Structure 1
């Protein structure tokens, strides 16, 4: 666990059940996915920004964790602006690129929507421990234990994969194998890691079966996953943000239900 992880998982938000964080993120995301307008996304993003200081993340932690979102959102908006649906005044028309008033409006709505959906999800899940999430999914949502434990084991192996990649790279450099050609070296290392992953996965599955993880019947859990007042409060905040954003969009007349008739 890195220093950022340790700090992020010691605040008030860190003690909230991960299932509630997942539910709050879904409550915010679903209405924004169903509409493509800038008002609802802007209102949701504004409300989220007001609550971000209470998430327990320092500003440096926040930027380190969310910088991919800030990079991906403008890139998505640029793509929509260049190739989105044309309507209104056309400003640029060259080859397949057509920038119009409508495409720029869609680009702005897409930019705000990506930020409004991704930022709360990233901030909330920084404080999630995979084991706590698995406990919540199995005990509260009653998902099959075999599926939950298998996913948890796979997630725990990601860090080992990164270590294996670095070890393979150092070993191949020391032996002078595929020292030239980045593409050739990458493909060779990827194939070696695939073989190693399959072998490790088979051994892990056998070990888990031997220890009774796949046994029939109701299983017990080492830690009880609780869903109380803090969890309901977080869910209520997520629902409030979604309802206020939708209401503002309807009042402003910009609501654009993307699944409706064209």
Structure 2
């Protein structure tokens, strides 16, 4: 566990049930997905940035976790700016590329919307433990235990895959077969990792079956997942952000329902 993970998991938000974090993120996401305008995305993004310090992440930790999002979101907007719907004054045109007032507006709205949708998930789930999330999904949302535990086991294997890749790379270097042919080396290591993953997955499935994970008998849980006042408060905050953003967009006439008639 890194220092950033340790700080995030000791914050007040870390003690909130992951199901509530998932619900709050969805409450923010759904209205923003239904519209493509600058106002709603901007309002939601500003409110999220104002509330970000309460998630238990300092600004250094916040940027360390979200810098990639701040890089990729403008690239998404750039694509829309070059190939989006043409409207208003045209500033540049070449082959299939057309930059106009309409495409620039859509590019800005898309960039802000991507940030407003993705940031809550990144910040809230920085303090989520996969086991706690699995407990919440199975006990509170009543998802099938087979699906939940299988997904949890698979997620736990990701770290091992990374370690296996490093071990394979060091082993090949020790044998002197990793000095040339980078592309060939990559596919060779990928195939070796695939074989290793299949073997490990088969062993894991057998071990879980032997321990009764595949039984049809209702299972018990080592830890009880609860949903109380803190969880409802977090979901209320997510709902408030969505309502304020939508209200601002409708009040200013910027609301652009993407499923509506052209």
TM-score (norm. length: structure 2): 0.99
1:81 CA displacement: 0.6
Q: CA-to-partner distance for each residue in 1:32-51, whole Å, 9 max, x for gaps?
A: 01100000000101111110
- What residue in structure 2 maps to residue 102 of structure 1? 102
SS in 1 for 2:93: strand
SS in 1 for 2:63: helix
- What residue in structure 1 maps to residue 181 of structure 2? 181
- What residue in structure 1 maps to residue 250 of structure 2? 250
Distance 1:193 1:88 in 2: 53
SS in 2 for 1:88: coil
- What residue in structure 2 maps to residue 160 of structure 1? 160
Paired residues for 1:10-25 under 5 Å: 10-25=10-25
Paired residues for 1:63-74 under 5 Å: 63-74=63-74
Distance 2:29 2:88 in 1: 29
- What residue in structure 2 maps to residue 55 of structure 1? 55
Distance 1:61 1:191 in 2: 36
- Length, aligned pairs only: 262
Q: Which runs of 5+ in 2 are unaligned?
A: none
- What residue in structure 1 maps to residue 217 of structure 2? 217
Distance 2:64 2:49 in 1: 17
Asked whether the equivalents of residues 179 and 185 of structure 1 are also in contact (C-alpha less than 8 Å), the reply is no
1:178 CA displacement: 4.5
TM-score (norm. length: structure 1): 0.99
Distance 1:2 1:197 in 2: 26
Runs of 4+ in 1 over 4 A off after TM superposition: none
Asked whether the equivalents of residues 11 and 56 of structure 2 are also in contact (C-alpha less than 8 Å), the reply is yes
Distance 1:216 1:95 in 2: 61
Asked whether the equivalents of residues 169 and 178 of structure 2 are also in contact (C-alpha less than 8 Å), the reply is no
Q: Which runs of 5+ in 1 are unaligned?
A: none
Q: CA-to-partner distance for each residue in 1:161-192, whole Å, 9 max, x for gaps?
A: 00000000010111122431211111111111
- What residue in structure 2 maps to residue 228 of structure 1? 228
- What residue in structure 2 maps to residue 46 of structure 1? 46
Distance 2:45 2:118 in 1: 10
Distance 2:178 2:171 in 1: 11
Distance 2:50 2:178 in 1: 52
Distance 1:166 1:9 in 2: 27
- What residue in structure 1 maps to residue 208 of structure 2? 208
Asked whether the equivalents of residues 85 and 102 of structure 2 are also in contact (C-alpha less than 8 Å), the reply is yes
